[in-house]
């Protein structure tokens, strides 16, 4: 499992080079063909035992983060989000700009007026402090347009993992594990590691235009929603109940035969699984379905608490059961055969 290494890498949308280089090095000798397209997607072909059909199995390399938008006279930095981030989780977080570590600051609570304490946070009131005393000093080290990544140590405890960027380095790690085990696909299978998913599903459109597969399977990390303070009825998934199988999410209704095939495969192999019970969020499957001739796609996800924050939580059994399900789908090939 490469979740630790992948989690601790920087790879905000549009800046996935480190992640891509790491994955390419690990899989180059385990696939039949490998290439990087003009947008930065990593595409690796593993030839199958049968011909006539092709499968894309995809996970995205990018993570949410920030980007420097202004350098102030006091040397502090304003920034904008890259991907979906709740600004309320940012004050006090450690971040990295290039090789410099800093802290996101906000007005101290004892200096806030009552209305400020009760109001909602937004990005305009936040600053990154890197220790500079002037804009001149700051400009010698950083520039507008520099990426900002969260700094978070990966940790494991009692069967759970905590770290950043599980969305979707969890999916990337699953695909790496499958290739490490010497997978034998039924049909030609493209293991695709996409870019810029968090900023509008950019990389996935380019992929299917090149490959034009029979169908696709997206391997994601999705919100669990089983926070202790939330009512059970609002949970999307639950940690420990296995991979989440999506039937519908924002912008895409999963192809019914693919959805049912994934469910039946999990049942027949005794793999714990659950349905994703809320439609919030989207995946590359939505882009696959509306690109080229419309590529029918399924989605299998690892549940995770607090995604899009510096500290997400996932259950390592869920991770392993996701790996098992995806590998079976690739090796049996039925997910391709249900498409007429």
Q: What angle do CA 223, 224, 226 make, to 5 degrees?
A: 140
* Residues in contact with 101: Cβ distance below 8 Å, sequence separation at least 6, in sequence order: 94, 95, 130, 151
Question: Given 3-state DSSP classes, what are the helix, strand and coil percentages for the chain, each rounded to the nearest 5?
Answer: 30, 25, 40
What count of other Cβ atoms lies within 10 Å of the Cβ of residue 275?
A: 15
* 332 among known catalytic residues: no
Sheet holding 244-245, edge to edge: 33-36, 42-46, 188-194, 54-60, 215-223, 297-304, 244-245, 274-275
Which position among 197, 233, 320, 340 bears the catalytic label? 197
Phi-psi region of 184 (alpha: psi -120 to 50; beta: other; left: phi over 0): beta
Nearest to 296 by CA among 258, 325, 330, 262: 258
Look up residue 247 and give its two tokens.
């039937």
Active site residues: 197
């Amino acid at each position: 499992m490469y979740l630790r290494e992948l989690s601790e890498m920087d790879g905000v949308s549009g800046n996935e080079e480190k992640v891509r280089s790491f994955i390419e090095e690990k899989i180059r000798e385990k696939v039949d063909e490998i290439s990087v397209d003009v947008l930065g997607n990593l595409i690796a072909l593993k030839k199958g035992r049968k011909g006539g059909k092709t499968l894309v199995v995809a996970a995205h390399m990018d993570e949410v983060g920030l980007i420097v938008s202004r350098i102030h006279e006091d040397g502090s930095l304003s920034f904008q989000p890259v991907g979906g981030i709740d600004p309320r989780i940012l004050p006090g977080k450690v971040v990295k700009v290039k090789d410099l570590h800093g802290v996101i600051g906000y007005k101290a609570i004892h200096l806030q007026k009552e209305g400020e304490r009760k109001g909602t946070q937004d990005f305009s009131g936040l600053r990154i402090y890197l220790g500079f005393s002037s804009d001149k000093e700051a400009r010698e080290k950083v520039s507008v347009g520099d990426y900002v990544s969260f700094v978070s140590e990966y940790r494991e405890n009692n069967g759970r993992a905590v770290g950043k960027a599980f969305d979707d380095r969890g999916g990337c790690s699953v695909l790496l594990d499958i290739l490490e085990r010497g997978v034998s696909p039924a049909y030609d299978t493209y293991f695709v590691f996409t870019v810029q998913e968090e900023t509008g599903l950019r990389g996935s459109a380019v992929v299917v235009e090149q490959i034009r597969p029979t169908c696709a399977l997206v391997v994601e990390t999705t919100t669990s929603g089983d926070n202790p303070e939330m009512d059970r009825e609002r949970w999307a998934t639950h940690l420990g109940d296995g991979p989440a199988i999506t039937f519908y999410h924002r912008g895409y209704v999963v192809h019914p035969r693919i959805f049912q095939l994934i469910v039946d495969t999990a049942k027949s192999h005794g793999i714990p699984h659950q349905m994703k019970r809320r439609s919030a969020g989207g995946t590359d499957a939505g882009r696959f379905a509306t690109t080229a001739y419309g590529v029918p796609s399924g989605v299998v996800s690892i549940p995770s608490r607090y995604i899009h924050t510096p500290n997400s939580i996932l259950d390592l059994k869920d991770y392993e059961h996701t790996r098992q399900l995806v590998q079976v789908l690739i090796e049996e090939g039925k997910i391709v055969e249900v498409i007429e």
